[in-house]
Amino acid sequence: MKFPQQHTLQQIATIIDAEFVGDSAFPVLGMNEIHVVNAGDIVFVDHPKYYDKALKSAATIILINKKVDCPKGKALLISDDPFRDFNKLTDYFKPFQKATQSISDSSSIGENTTIQPTAFVGNNVTIGNNCVIHANVSIYDHSVIGDNVIIHSNTVIGAPAFYYKNRSTGFDQLKSGGRVVIEKNVDIGASCTIDRGVSGDTFIGEGSKLDNQVHIGHDTVLGKKCLIASQAGIAGCVIIEDEVTIWGQVGIRSDVRIRKNVEIFAQSGVSKSLKEGEKYFGTPATEAKKWFREAASIRQIPRLLKNK
């Protein structure tokens, strides 16, 4: 998530009421989670275990709960609660804006695009040309939708990440300042949910097709020309490369990579990254051939027992 314009370290420190280490004019361009940071980004860290990783990341501003040595060419923001202050920044730059009508005036809708009655289009949404947004679809603020995209009824684009910090006072949600970005020629079935990124984008690649009731978590990147069948659920921060086929009711856990041309059979549960071009089955998902061999061996057990 980049800010609409460059800020100074001093300005950011003022917003979150924090002490800072570095030049007051140090440039701040945005904020991101550790796995997607660039120069100019703020990253936050609140546990000594991860200090080093954050300080050595590509981020140049570290929002941290201890006054450590500042790495060269970087700046620090010192906070007693970096998580809270990261949220404060998200709220500052991407505040929740109550909608005043079902299709926001601040949305940009392309030529020859149809928005059916009862659909909802939030603030600052961009929709390309030749799209159809069917009845009772809900599109949250800041979503970006390419040309020739069809979104079927009751699908939800851009709800926030399911991402909480467990505090003694209760679960505290990490606010989602990211977006959903859908490339051209994508079809999305009825009653799907595609969550927006926490600080980056959840991304649906060109020409991919989703069936009904598919769930895609925050910051997940789906490649081009993928097929996802009904009721599949893909957690957050998953990378799915091009031309992957995922059959019905498959579940994929967070932080794994599904390589090009993988096919995952129905109801499989994926807990690890998968190899290019392979077919997978079962929970936990294994190579399909291996799965079928194991299933066949189970049927031999009665014979083994009899031979005893």
218 is catalytic: yes
Number of H helices, E strands in the chain: 5, 34
Contact 188, 169 (CB under 8 A): no
- Which of 233, 241, 246, 274 binds its own copies (CB under 8 A)? It is 233
Interaction with its own copies in 277-306: which residues (CB under 8 A)? 283, 293-294, 297-302, 304-305
- Which of 120, 133, 178, 241 binds its own copies (CB under 8 A)? It is 120
- Which of 29, 32, 57, 134 binds its own copies (CB under 8 A)? It is 134
Q: Position 264: which residue type?
A: I
Q: Is 177 in the site for its own copies (CB under 8 A)?
A: no
The values of phi and psi at residue 13, to 5°, are: -60, -35
CA dihedral 57, 61, 66, 68 (to 10 degrees): 70
Of 16-24, 68-76, 255-263, 266-274, the window that binds its own copies (rule: CB under 8 A) is: 266-274
For its own copies, the closer CB: 48 or 284:
284
Q: Is 138 in the site for its own copies (CB under 8 A)?
A: yes
Active-site entry in 7, 134, 152, 218: 218
Report the C-alpha gap between 58 and 41 in whole angstroms: 8
Return the number of other C-beta atoms located less than 10 Å from residue 79's C-beta.
23
Q: 258 by DSSP, 3-state: which?
A: strand
Report the C-alpha gap between 164 and 161 in whole angstroms: 9
- Which of 122, 146, 197, 223 binds its own copies (CB under 8 A)? It is 122
For its own copies, the closer CB: 15 or 150:
150
Q: Is 114 in the site for its own copies (CB under 8 A)?
A: yes
- Which of 68, 70, 132, 256 binds its own copies (CB under 8 A)? It is 132
Ramachandran assignment for 75, one of left (phi > 0), alpha (psi -120 to 50 degrees), beta (any other): beta
Give catalytic residues, as residue numbers: 218
